[in-house]
Amino acid sequence: MNDAALAVASLEEHEIMADLIFLVITVGFFAVSIAYTHGCEKLRGRQS
């Protein structure tokens, strides 16, 4: 593999890694939001 091919490969890896990071952040945020939903319901249950 020549240098140019290596550079392209590392660029692609970098892009895929960036996509994975943002996917994890997105799914993580919504998972937290669902946990937050259940947390609010739990609080309501304790007070009723």
Partner 1 sequence: MTPIAILQVVLYFGILLVITKPLGSYMARVFEGEKTFLHGPLGWLERGTYRVLGVDPHRDMKWTEYATSMLMFSLASMVFTYGALRLQGILPLNPQHFGVKQMPADLAFNTAASFTTNTNWQSYSPEVTMSYFSNMVALAIHNWASAAVGIAIAIAVIRGFSRKSADGIGNFWADMVRCTLYVLLPLSFVGAVVFLAMGVPQNFDPYTVVTTLEGGKQTIALGPVASQEIIKQLGTNGGGFFNANSAHPFENPTPLSNFFTLVLIWSIPGAITHTFGKMVGNTKQGWALFGAMAALALAGMIICTSAEQAGTPHLAAAHIQTAATAMQSGGNMEGKEVRFGIAASSLFATVTTGASCGAVNAMHDSFTPIGGLVPLFNMLTGEVIFGGVGAGLYGMLMFAVLAVFIAGLMVGRTPEYLGKKIEKFEVQMAMLATLVLAASVLGFAALSSTIDLPKTGALAALNTWPGSVYGGADAVYGAATGNLNNAGPHGFSEIFYAYASGTGNNGSAFAGITANTPWYNGTIALAALIGRFLMIVPLLAMAGALAKKVHIPASSGTFPTDTPTFAGLLVGVVVIVGALTYFPGLALGPIVEQFQMNVLATH
Residue ranges in contact with partner 1 by CB under 8 A: 15, 18-19, 21-23, 25-27, 29-30, 33-34, 36-38, 40-41, 43-44, 47-48
CB of 7 or CB of 23, closer to partner 1:
23
- What is the smallest separation between the CB atom of 9 and partner 1, expressed in angstroms? 15
CB of 6 or CB of 43, closer to partner 1:
43
Distance (Å, whole) CA 6 – CA 12: 10
Distance (Å, whole) CA 44 – CA 28: 24
Which residues does 9 contact at the CB level (< 8 Å), separation at least 6? 1
